[in-house]
Amino acid sequence: MLPLIVENLRFTGQHGPIIKGVNFSLNDAGVTVVMGPNGAGKSVLLRLLHGLLKVNSGQILWNGTGLNEALRKRQSLLFQRPVLLRRSVLANLRFVLKQRHISADDETCLNLLSRVQLDHVAYRSARHLSGGEQQRLALARSLALKPEVLLMDEPAASLDPVSTKMIETIVRDQRANNTKVIFVTHDVSQAHRVADDVLFLHHGEVLEHTSASTFFEQPQSTQARQYLSGEIVV
């Protein structure tokens, strides 16, 4: 699906502009981390890239093509707070696979659950899982679709260390398998661990898009320097 080209992207919400003339491009597999203070537009940007929100102006081109349903099916978006069906862990996974006409036999599903260390709770109600386990199930559902682009919106926010480490390991595994990962996080340490490049947003504008090493060692904008030093950025 790459390259991704975003040109003069604008989106206005109920209370005013959120994304303000954003331009950037992504040409390689790897992990692009999207960072910025609260209200910067990070989550909205992910939803625009996946087509859950409609742009007001500008364009999003995946390999030269505007986003359509066929392209959306080659992506998967993992939300910060997963939405699970009122059924078993296994049934949650089966439902997603059947929607895409992918084999949903027990062996396939249990192998996916094993990858996120949930095979031992396969028949438990998904709603009774811990927060970290629910997010791991949501991740298993995303991986089941074998996406070429995996969009992740603060997937480890407030999770236990075991779940956080597992999610980061899977992100690195997906990168090794040439899946493009676009990963929103507010956690600077986590960004250090997983990022190949960093897109830094502030008030709906891209202030920096550089390699991770450049961003963390030599941020160019005052706002990025403040953000990395733990200051409040306004």
For 86, the token pair is 């009122």
Query: In 3-state terms, what secondary structure has residue 3?
Result: coil
Q: Comparing C-alpha atoms, which of 201, 212, 231 is closest to residue 43?
A: 201
Residue 161: enclosing H or E segment and its boundaries? helix 161-176
Residue 229's pLDDT band, with cuts at 50, 70 and 90, is very high
pLDDT at 104: 85
Q: Which CATH architecture has domain 4-84+148-228?
A: 3-Layer(aba) Sandwich (3.40)
Domain boundaries, the chain: 4-84+148-228
As a whole number, mean pLDDT of residues 114-119 equals 94
- pLDDT tens digits along 20-44: 999 999 998 899 999 999 999 999 9
| Interacting residues of 14 by C-beta distance below 8 A, sequence separation 6+ | none
**Does residue 103 have a pLDDT over 90?**
no
Q: Which two tokens stand for residue 65?
A: 């093509």
Whole-number Å distance between alpha carbons of 167 and 172: 9
Digit-coded pLDDT (tens) for 128-146: 999 999 999 999 999 999 9
Confidence of residue 45 (pLDDT cuts 50, 70, 90): very high
Average pLDDT, the chain: 95
Q: How far apart are CA 157 and CA 80, in angstroms?
A: 7
